[in-house]
Amino acid sequence: MSRRSGILEFAVLGLLREAPMHGYELRKRLNTSLGVFRAFSYGSLYPCLKSLVANGWLIEEPGSSPEDARAASLAGRRAKIVYRLTAEGKEHFEELLAHTGPDAWEDEHFAARFAFFGQTSRDVRMRVLEGRRSRLEERLEKMRASLARTRERLDDYTLELQRHGMESVEREVRWLNELIESERAGRDKRPGPDQ
């Protein structure tokens, strides 16, 4: 239930796989370190953490630093809550990582997937990369078609906007080509899906 789902859930799981953390720290890493995700608010993060706990993917632990211990010892006080990935949570994340369906090549999903490529097996990486590329190529086709149909009716600014948009997409395709090429060449720093 209450699947506060998708990217946030995925990203939280992925970050906690590297190390246990509390909510506040998690949010900072979400917003800055990875640089990928949009700035999630506490209003979405904390409820998401609660639902992950309810699902059994995460457990809450009291903070381990001395102040936390002191704070916790005082009855009724609220201490820092450190979240740790459970075995089930790890397994679940592994499953999410293995999905290579069409959603995985959408903009935000793709960025999230890429951010955890270090924990992904090479064949999955290839499928995601190639899926993303074909997704972009479709998009490019549509843009070209619609541009051909309407070029005359558009003013200079609209035209410039479309041109710039297409150029950006084309650039990403070239970037993907390089990545795919280097995956093929086998420059594969990390062995497999695990460790």
Question: What is the enclosing helix (H) or strand (E) of 80?
Answer: none
Q: Which is nearer to DNA, 60 or 160 (CB)?
A: 60
**158, 177, 181, 184: which one binds a copy of itself (CB under 8 A):** 158
**15, 16, 48, 97: which one binds DNA (CB under 7 A):** 48
Q: Can you tell me the distance from the alpha carbon of 13 to that of 9, in angstroms, rounded to the nearest whole number?
A: 6
Which listed range, 21-29, 96-104, 131-139, 149-157, lies at the site for DNA (CB under 7 A)?
21-29
- Look at residue 169 and give the partner it binds from DNA, a copy of itself, none, a contact being a CB closer than 5 to 8 Å depending on partner kind: none
Q: Can you tell me the distance from the alpha carbon of 179 to that of 173, in angstroms, rounded to the nearest whole number?
A: 10
**34, 81, 147, 179: which one binds DNA (CB under 7 A):** 81
- Which residues, at least 6 apart from 27, have a Cβ–Cβ distance to it below 8 Å? 40, 42, 45
How is residue 118 written in tokens?
Answer: 């270090």
118 binds a copy of itself (CB under 8 A): yes
42 binds DNA (CB under 7 A): yes
Which listed range, 41-49, 96-104, 118-126, 185-193, lies at the site for DNA (CB under 7 A)?
41-49
What is the CB neighbour count within 10 angstroms for residue 135? 18
CA 183 to chain centre: 20
147 binds a copy of itself (CB under 8 A): yes
- Look at residue 71 and give the partner it binds from a copy of itself, DNA, none, a contact being a CB closer than 5 to 8 Å depending on partner kind: DNA
